[in-house]
Amino acid sequence: MIEQNFIKIYETSFKNNWSQLALTDYKDQNSLTYGQVAEEIARIHLFFEEIGLKQGDKVSLIGKNHSSWSLVFLATFTYGAVIVPILHEFNSDSVLHIIEHSDSQCAFVNENIWSTLDQDRVAIPTFSIPSFDLLKSKDNSHKNIKQNVDAKFDQRYPNGFTKEDIKYAEVDNDKVICINYTSGTTGFSKGVMLTANNYAGNVTYAHSLGLLFPGEKDLAFLPMAHAYGCAFDFLYALSNGVHVTLLDVIPSPQNLVKAFQEIRPNIIITVPLIFEKIYKKKILPIVEKPIVKALLKVPGVNNIIYKKIRKSLIESLGGNFREVIIGGAALGKDIEAFFHKIKFPFTVGYGMTECAPLISYDHHYDFVPTSCGSILNGIMEARIDSPDPENIPGEIQVKGENVMAGYYKNPEATKEAFTEDGWLKTGDSGVLVGRRLFIKGRIKTMLLGSNGQNIYPEEIEAKINNMPYVAESLVVQRDGKLVAIIHPDYAELRDNNIDTDSITEIMNNNRITLNNSLARYEKINIIEIKNDEFEKTPKKSIKRFMYS
């Protein structure tokens, strides 16, 4: 058990950073200091009292990154209730199923999302964010709740809300404080029960790494309803006096670059998709030019070119960050090798929702290409289910402070997730050299060649995704043959005035080039064009089960 109580971390942070900026909504530039965050949390606690919420009750929260979303999340676990964050990208049926399955006693929903739901299926008091207006109640008994809360707040804090008024629920670290539903890549989502200790493990470990310091800046553009963005862009940042700007606009490359340059964050927490797009759109067109290709072969000159590319890339991302942390999925090996070659300050970590989420990490200056960092020292342990863990891939299994309590109301899935001796089965295949982890792929996605060879489709997909006019791809096996399903980059085709009738020829040429770089048993036999984007999980991983 982590010694530091998770709830107390925020009591301390809000008091110590009282006048510092805590949260800013990027779009309208509304800002709250740590003191104002604490005051708003106190109001929401009174809101909970008015609706009769008890400690241990569940609260559903559906919305995009916004200060109001953040306040409800913080207020829920500091009240002693259990937060159920629901990704705004889930479809309507999934949202309604999670509200019901989680046994939530109330819900807070962004008004735009509320309009898309079958409201007749919502049987609990529901309030809008950011306004906190009543959206639905069985008997409209909560109609005047905002006025009641305002009056009650004035009575309880007649001299105004101060640091000394911050006192949160007594919640032991072994208690569940969040149920995070993840859609995963193999089927319907399960409710991951995360304890205060799971979050404390992630937050206190991040403190020990010195990733951020009081008064520094962070840009939160990953969905905070997902464990990765929630733990580091949000919970860790606010535990340490950091100013978090919440990107409440579409995180397109154009919007991100603009925001990076305006905010100049001290750290960047992202997923591979972002950097794969940067590499493909900004860097690859430069390094593929014949003259540049030739110059890169000249010792000394190549380092000058790499330095210029690195400088330009750093400046486009604000120029003020110490490190880029990439997680949520594997980064393509070719892209990773290039960033490492130009000495760009990045690292790749590994985790899963069931560990809230972190399992392994290295600072960028310790990062070893193709690895995903070292197992968290003193926090987590890992083993490989293999006769030779350093050389023969096997399932990665973990235990430690960050491991979940189980799946909500699903003892069968919980039992299946753990080994007989209590290790969490990650479902990922890898090797472990010392404490450094190297992932090969998902066990469930691994394919077998005709002679029993292990084929990791993610590695082939990474190569395909770097080929001309490819937006994304998926490799599957049909009748013993490997098929590459490709979604073309139609925007790039338009930009280059290439007719869509040429797609088949372009992709077949890609296939020939690709196969020259693959082992015989990995070669792609068939290209299948997909006009629409693939369905994805919250981590932006393709839902493979839909296309196998």
Q: pTM to 2 decimals?
A: 0.85
Count of Cβ atoms closer than 10 Å to residue 473 Cβ: 26
Could you give the 3-state DSSP secondary structure of residue 231?
Answer: helix
Residue type present at position 409: K
Cα-Cα-Cα-Cα dihedral sign, residues 194, 196, 201, 206: positive
Q: How far is CA 525 from CA 203, 218, 467, 475, 477, in A?
A: 47, 45, 17, 11, 10
DSSP classification of residue 418: B
Q: What is the pLDDT of residues 443-466, one digit of tens each?
A: 778 787 766 677 888 889 988 998
Q: What is the pLDDT of residues 242-269, one digit of tens each?
A: 999 999 888 888 899 999 999 999 999 9
Residue type present at position 125: P
SS (H, E, C) 171-219: CCCCCEEEEEEECCCCCCCEEEEEEHHHHHHHHHHHHHHCCCCCCCEEE
Helix axes 333-341, 457-464, angle to 10 degrees: 60
- What residue has token string 């998770």? 6
Q: What is the pLDDT of residues 340-376, one digit of tens each?
A: 999 999 999 999 999 999 999 999 999 999 999 999 9
List the domains of the chain with CATH numbers: 6-195 (3.40.50.12780), 268-320+323-442 (3.40.50.12780), 456-546 (3.30.300.30)
Per DSSP (E only), the strands in 210-306 are: 217-220, 243-246, 268-270
Q: Which residues of 74-90 are buried (b: 16+ CB within 10 A; e: fewer)?
A: bbbbbbbbbbbbbbbbb
Q: What is the pLDDT of residues 98-111, one digit of tens each?
A: 999 999 999 999 98
Residue type present at position 11: E
| Angle formed at CA 417 by CA 412 and CA 420, multiple of 5 degrees | 95
Secondary structure element (H or E) that encloses residue 478, with its range: strand 470-478
> Per-residue confidence at 188, pLDDT binned at 50, 70, 90?
low
Residue 338 phi, psi dihedral angles, 5° rounding: -65, -50
Region at 136 (left for phi over 0; alpha for psi -120 to 50; beta for the rest)? beta
Q: What is the pLDDT of residues 112-121, one digit of tens each?
A: 999 999 999 9
Residue 167 phi, psi dihedral angles, 5° rounding: -150, 115
Q: How far apart are CA 184 and CA 353, in angstroms?
A: 9
Q: How far apart are CA 322 and CA 102, in angstroms?
A: 39
> Per-residue confidence at 142, pLDDT binned at 50, 70, 90?
confident
So what's the pLDDT on residue 444? 79
pLDDT of 200 strictly over 80: yes
Top-confidence residue, 57 or 548: 57
Q: How far apart are CA 447 and CA 457, in angstroms?
A: 7
Residue 275 phi, psi dihedral angles, 5° rounding: -75, -25
